[in-house]
Amino acid sequence: MLAITLVSPDPAALAEAVAAVRAALAVSSEAVLGEGALDLLIDGPPVETHQAVKAAVDELPVDFAVQPVENRRKRLLIADMDSTIINVECLDELADFAGVKDKVSAITERAMRGELAFEGALRERVGMLTGLSVDALQACYDDRVKLNPGARTLVRTMAEHGARCALVSGGFTFFTSRVAQAAGFHLNRANTLIEADGRLTGTVGEPILGKEAKLAALREETAALGLTPADALAVGDGANDLAMIEVAGLGVAYRAKPIVAAQAHAKVDHADLTALLYFQGFTAAEFVS
């Protein structure tokens, strides 16, 4: 049995999507999960069902997931931070304090699209921060960093229902430690900015946490819990998230670059991060704020 989950902030679009899916497929039952979210159950082949749903809702502001009902609720959440759990790319915002945001953000964009190797791009960008006062890190966090809508509810709801929640970022521990606490993650992994005499040295601790390290984190955390990657939900937006998204039982592209959106099991372009709870079959009544 497959669950087709449809989520949208637009009630009219959601109703149109439901009608289109029902017209295309032999839906056996329907269940409302919350305002703007519902499940349609179907007994059919996964690939063909996904293709049919995509064709039915492609022009509508509706996010969807198609997956087996079995093992739908995941026991590990592994999430990217920048532009996924939070609203900004922290490195780009730090570069603004250093007066080099345009140069740094251009490299960030190319790296997130998969056009540049992440590790080299990170070293280059951090090098442009040489001499920046470490006080800028706290100012950046206080002034620029906000949790994305639904992030806290996503993490706290999964944690409340027994899932392990890990924030794994190609960014920096200064930010992940604070974001993890604000959102309710159990642990965080990221890179370390090297400083001396109250200023950034323009270097980053080695080895750099990038694409392969994120995948390794997923494998290590599932193994530690006696689980497999099929029990994990991974979410991110950039090319360095792609490996963990592809391997996870449910890999979600959130407001993602094209290379990621094309390979993920599901994508969220319209709803907030609570869509990931609906994808797992949670009802709004089960949400923990």
> What is the pairing mode between strands 2-7 and 232-236?
unpaired
Q: Which two tokens stand for residue 228?
A: 């497999």
Residue 21's nearest CA partner among 3, 38, 36, 40 is 40
| Options 39, 63, 82, 231, the catalytic residue | 82
Candidates 63, 80, 237, 241; catalytic one: 80
Q: What are phi and psi of 83, to 5 degrees?
A: 65, 10
Residue 187 and residue 218: Cα distance in Å, rounded? Answer: 12
Sequence-distant (6+) residues with CB within 8 A of 177 are: 188
Active site (annotated) includes residue 58 = no
Q: How far apart are CA 224 and CA 208, in angstroms?
A: 22
Q: Is the Cβ–Cβ distance between 242 and 212 less than 8 Å? A: no
CA dihedral over 53, 235, 272, 115, signed as positive or negative: negative
Tell me whether residue 80 is one of the annotated catalytic residues: yes
101's CB contacts (< 8 A; 6+ apart) are: 92, 93, 95
- Residue pointed to by tokens 């780009």: 92
Angstrom distance (rounded) from CA 13 to CA 30 = 17
Active site residues: 80, 82
